[in-house]
């Protein structure tokens, strides 16, 4: 049995808006391309999602947000409606809303994207550094953190409902990476929230907000903990497609491992069941995990693996050729999946082996 570890860490985030000016903020789009490659998959699969929790500011006030001059935000569950989501491609989305706790009735709605996760070694080799203020109270080691860039093209923040002299904060803001030279980024890891006592997994990150109407800018900072449950360890098994009568077991042909050869087949379309963990070619010991479709037409062979819901396909290997089994460079027959290839310009009768590793 093969085990596939896909453990998603607990994370946290820090957001602070500490100063303001009317100077237009510079875009970092060009700098992104110069310092770090900008890569993400907008259609990525969600691998973890949960509601963040506020930090205690080194034993002081609880909050998830500080900014727009003076107010704190999201200091209790009723004021914090954020969601943290991590995707299979490594990108992170912070979305939702929180209210201030200074009586200004401001509601802040965010949709912030982080991309390009890098280890400390990769981040520092590209000119980046850790951002750990002198007043941090977290037990944090820069080498234990993962570093991200803020995706300006998809990130936005909006404030509404402010009263008592804070009306000018209302409106939509562009969200830009800070600093603009990308020497520092969002940080995720043990102690990463920086202002939570201990070494809880968290995130801290800096950005610049630009009011889309007035052009007023605010340096900003996000910080909170995210108690996501680690994704369970997946258990993986090898699987082979099998003809209806179960003929051509590898073991019956002198090999020590189990599995089946399909064929010989002539041109046409075929469908076979695929079994996992069927040791000794005994399907009563294994599990039916889907089907395999073989399309042999005009000398070309296309094989489609239709694996049932509840399983993840870790890898596939397919053989198609005139010989019953593929051969090594020395001409010896083998059933090792790493040696499987689909020969080109086939004609007449051929053999097929369809192998997969499936996990659940």
pLDDT by residue (tens digit) across 130-188?
998 888 888 889 999 999 999 999 999 999 988 888 888 899 999 999 999 999 999 99
Long-range interactions of 288-293: CB distance < 8 A, separation 24+: 289/239, 289/358, 290/358, 291/241, 292/241, 292/354, 293/269
- Residue 109's CB is within 10 A of a number of other CB atoms, namely 16
Q: What value does the mean pLDDT of the chain take?
A: 82
Statement: residue 32 has pLDDT above 70: no
- Inform me whether the pLDDT recorded for 6 exceeds 50: no
Give pLDDT, residue 54: 77
| Per-residue pLDDT tens digits for 215-271 | 998 888 888 887 887 666 778 999 999 999 999 999 999 999 999 999 999 999 999
pTM (predicted TM-score): 0.56
Q: Which residue has the tokens 């009263």?
A: 163
How confident is the model at residue 36, as a pLDDT?
Answer: 38
Are the CB atoms for 87 and 151 separated by under 8 Å?
Answer: no
| pLDDT higher than threshold 50 for residue 41 | no
Structure tokens at 196: 């939570």
**Reported confidence tier of residue 65, pLDDT bands at 50, 70, 90:** low
Q: Are 335 and 323 in contact (CB under 8 A)?
A: no
Residue recorded with tokens 């008592």: 164
């Amino acid at each position: 049995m093969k085990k596939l570890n896909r453990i998603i860490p607990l994370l946290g985030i820090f957001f602070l808006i500490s100063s303001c000016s009317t100077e237009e903020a510079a875009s970092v789009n060009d700098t992104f391309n110069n310092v770090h490659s900008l890569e993400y998959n907008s259609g990525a699969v969600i691998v973890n999602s949960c509601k963040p929790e506020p930090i205690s500011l080194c034993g002081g006030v609880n909050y998830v947000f500080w900014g727009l001059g003076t107010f704190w935000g999201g200091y209790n569950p009723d004021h914090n409606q954020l969601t943290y989501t991590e995707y299979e491609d490594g990108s992170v989305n912070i979305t939702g809303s929180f209210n201030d706790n200074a009586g200004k009735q401001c509601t802040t709605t965010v949709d912030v994207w982080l991309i390009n996760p890098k280890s400390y070694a990769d981040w520092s080799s590209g000119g980046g550094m850790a951002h750990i203020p002198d007043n941090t109270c977290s037990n944090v080691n820069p080498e234990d953190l993962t570093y991200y860039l803020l995706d300006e093209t998809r990130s936005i923040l909006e404030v509404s409902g402010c009263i008592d002299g804070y009306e000018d904060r209302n409106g939509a803001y562009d969200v830009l990476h800070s600093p603009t030279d990308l020497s520092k980024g969002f940080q995720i890891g043990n102690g990463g929230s920086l202002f939570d006592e201990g070494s809880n997994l968290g995130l801290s990150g800096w950005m610049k907000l630009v009011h889309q109407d007035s052009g007023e800018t605010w340096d900003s900072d996000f910080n909170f903990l995210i108690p996501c449950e680690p994704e369970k360890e997946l258990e993986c098994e090898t699987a082979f497609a099998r003809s209806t009568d179960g003929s051509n077991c590898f073991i019956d042909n002198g090999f020590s491992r189990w599995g089946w050869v399909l064929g010989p087949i002539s041109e046409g379309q075929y469908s076979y069941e695929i079994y996992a963990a069927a040791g000794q070619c005994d399907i009563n010991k294994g599990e039916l995990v889907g089907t395999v479709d073989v399309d042999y037409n005009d000398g070309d062979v296309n094989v489609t693996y239709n694996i049932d819901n509840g399983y993840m396909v870790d890898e596939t290997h397919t053989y198609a050729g005139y010989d019953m089994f593929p051969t090594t460079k020395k001409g010896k027959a083998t059933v090792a999946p790493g040696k499987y290839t689909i020969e080109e310009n086939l004609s007449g009768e051929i053999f097929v082996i369809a192998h997969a590793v499936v996990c659940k």
